[in-house]
Amino acid sequence: MSVSRRELLHGVAGAMGLAAGGCTPAAEAKGTILPPTAGTPEDFWARCIRCYRCGEVCTAGCIEFHPPWARPDRAGTPYIEPRRAGCNTCMRCTDVCPTGALTPVPAEKEAVLAQIDMGTAYVDHGLCLSYQGRVCGVCHDACPYPQDAIRLVSRALPEVLDACVGCGRCEERCPQVPAAIRVFRDDPGPRWVGPGENDD
């Protein structure tokens, strides 16, 4: 039986992780942002067969995989960590999924805005350069759907709109450390401002 290089590396990493004490908190915490059309994590993890095809065709290089020592329900499944690389909504991952864990969607603006919901970007006004009086606007420039998913109001203040698909390009490019704009699947709490919440 032939073993791919990716599978071999995953096996080696798994052995190292288990030798070091098994599942780590970092491995458990990853994966809240899933590839386009994945739906709820539990349903997606149940349908995904860990074939790695989505990652192989990803043109943004944003799809990563949970290591073998992660929880059994998610080990080997894909996730996106936007701060490292956001999704460019090429939709190629949805075309190659063999099980329907990802549903095909055309890489056209109207289709993506209507059907993709990986999460929502939220802004921390306490970290955002523009809200601190320094004009930035990088998040707006990085967004594949400016004026639809995010816009700049006076003094280049970013305002996330309802059409945000959660691709994470804004989070990837944010010059602040930690990022002043982040993508969450669920409401992150009062510190973060999402669509319709701006009061500045």
HEC letters along 120-133:
EEEECCCCCCHHHC
What are residue 12's phi and psi, to 5 degrees?
Answer: -65, -45
Q: Could you tell me which CATH number the domain at 119-184 has? A: 3.30.70.20
pLDDT average, residue stretch 177-188: 95
146 three-state secondary structure = strand
Q: Which residue has the tokens 């603006």?
A: 109
Of the chain, the end-to-end C-alpha distance in Å amounts to 61
pTM, rounded to two decimals = 0.83
Grade residue 130 by pLDDT with cuts at 50, 70 and 90: very high
Q: Report pLDDT digits (tens) over 132-175.
A: 999 999 999 999 999 999 999 988 999 999 999 999 999 999 99
* More confident call, 20 vs 32: 32
What are residue 69's phi and psi, to 5 degrees?
Answer: -90, 5
Distance CA 183, CA 169 (A): 9
27 three-state secondary structure = helix
Question: Residue 19: what pLDDT?
Answer: 39
Mean pLDDT of the chain: 87
The structural domains of the chain, with segments of one domain joined by +, span 5-109, 119-184
Q: Which residue has the tokens 């701006």?
A: 198
Question: Residue 13: what pLDDT?
Answer: 42
pLDDT average, residue stretch 46-51: 96
21-52 b/e (C-beta count within 10 Å ≥ 16 → b)? eebeeebeebbebbbbbbeebeebbeebebeb
pLDDT average, residue stretch 5-29: 42
* More confident call, 17 vs 199: 199
Question: Residue 197: what pLDDT?
Answer: 85
